[in-house]
Amino acid sequence: MTVKRRNHGRSKKGRGHVKLIRCDNCFQACPKDKAIKRFNVRNMIEAAAKRDMAEASVYESYDVPKVYYKLQHCVGCAIHGRIVRVRSRVNRRNRAPPPRFRQEFKKPTAAPAVKASA
């Protein structure tokens, strides 16, 4: 029989049975090893409220705590929510993680001095 993926869409490898988890979006039962898992880190307060808090705060610098939570989706919700994409037969063999696009904050440089012509 033809096989679409070499791991059959799971990461079980020798375990007979894996516990089910519930999808965070639709609450469908899905095996834990088949679920698409993403670890999400966010600030407790959005940027606009953070600025307001900084102005009203007594402390000069205060690091706003972060919220850490793990999202677990079934395959259908992960595709629908664009967490993972459908890939062609050739690209399915690519097991490398996708490139990360992190914003590099450039330090402001001083403006070049302008010569005054006399």
pLDDT digits (tens, 9 = 90+) for 88-105: 999 988 889 888 888 776
CB-based burial of residue 30 (10 Å sphere; 0-12 exposed, 13-18 middle, 19+ buried)?
buried
Which of these, 32, 37, 28, lies nearest to 11 by C-alpha position?
32
As a whole number of angstroms, the distance between CA 31 and CA 64 comes to 35
Per residue in 14-63, pLDDT (tens digit) is: 999 999 999 999 999 999 999 999 999 999 999 889 888 888 888 888 88
pLDDT category of residue 114 using cuts at 50, 70 and 90? low
* pTM higher than 0.85: no
When pLDDT is averaged across residues 109-114 and rounded to a whole number, the result is: 66
Candidates 27, 41, 42; CA nearest to 73 is 27
pLDDT for the residue 100: 85
